[in-house]
Amino acid sequence: MPHSIEHLMLAEHNKLQKILQECLKSIGSQSIVSQELFIKFKWNMEKHFFIEEKIIFTNPAVENLEHTEEIEEIFEDHKEILDLIKNIDEDKTQLDKLKIEKLLKLILNHAKFEDEDFYPRLDEILTLEQKQEIIKESHKVLNP
């Protein structure tokens, strides 16, 4: 089990990016595979956002920190990403490669901020016990 929120979320970001990149590669040549990968991506992204929004950001130790503006920006990113996923998902016949590329770019930018700035600072501020509680709760969602 990771000992930091940063490592946990970095692994999650890498997993999500890999699924979406595989989906992108299979568009056109293997439409059923690309659809299945998109569904897998969507499900994992929803779990990821649930962890951030319901476990990490609502933790009393995190809520009491001076990160309100950053958390609001993260929520805005989540909304933009979810809106694009919904837009992609509405076309049931075929995935739009340009929209998937745009989604990947959004996710890469979002993950970069969290991985390089937000979560490393959060790990510095929280106690070991606070981090372990967040990680334990996160694993309940990731590995039910």
- For residue 71, give the CATH number of its domain: 1.20.120.520
Note down the domain range covering 80.
Answer: 5-142
Burial class (CB in 10 A: 0-12, 13-18, 19+), 92: exposed
Burial class (CB in 10 A: 0-12, 13-18, 19+), 17: middle
Q: What is the pLDDT of residues 48-86, one digit of tens each?
A: 999 999 999 888 888 776 667 888 899 999 999 999 999
CA 90 – CA 120 distance, rounded (Å): 36
Q: How many domains, the chain?
A: 1
Average pLDDT over residues 127-143: 92
pTM: 0.89
Burial class (CB in 10 A: 0-12, 13-18, 19+), 113: middle
